[in-house]
Structure formats: structure tokens, C-alpha cells
Amino acid sequence: MPVPHVRMYATATCPYCIRAEALLRSRGVDAIDKIRVDLEPGRRQTMIEESGRSTVPQIFIDGKHIGGCDDLVALDRAGGLMPLLAPAGA
């Protein structure tokens, strides 16, 4: 069963990025396609175009924009995160 693809635009020192990654890992996400906009500044414009936001983190699960850390935490608290992270067909 394929696992969901998680992509996160982030920087190395952003506490919200670190918190979001920790939450995702605590929910069983082993692989995060982390795009470091501090190392690849040109990718920030792509992030803005995809998300409509200029702050990090910006999190996508299977191409669906989740939002930033607060959005991810709210989704998890509402019980909506785990269904998105379940392997397809599970």
C-alpha cells in the first residue's frame, strides 16, 4: 500500500518547522520531502505560488495544501490528520 507523500517547505532554524516535523513523525510519517528555502531561495517563490503564503512551514500531503504548523496542529486535534496519513487502500 503506498504511503502518502508529505512535502514541507521549511528552514533549518524555524521553530514552527521543527514542531510540524515532530508532529508528523509522531504520527508515523517516516519520509518528509523537505524543501529548504533557506538553502534554495529560488524555491520560496514556488512555495508562494503553490500555497499563497510566504511563511514557513508550508505542508502538503499528497499534493493537498494543509497550511502551516498551526493548521497542521488544528487538523490533528480535529481528527483529520491521521486519515490523510493512512496508506491508500487501508
Any bridge partners for residue 7, and if so which? 33, 60
Q: What is the DSSP letter of 78?
A: T
Superfamily the domain 6-85 falls into: Glutaredoxin (3.40.30.10)
Residue 1 pLDDT class (50, 70, 90 cuts): low
How is the chain split into domains, by residue range?
A: 6-85
Instruction: List, for residues 4-60, the tens digit of each pLDDT value.
Output: 999 999 999 999 999 999 999 999 999 999 999 999 999 999 999 999 999 999 999
Query: In 10 A of CB 76, how many CB atoms?
Result: 18
Residue 90 scores a pLDDT above 80? no
Q: Is the pTM of this model over 0.85?
A: yes
Position 88 confidence tier, pLDDT thresholds 50, 70, 90: low
Q: Which residues pair with 58 in a beta bridge?
A: 9
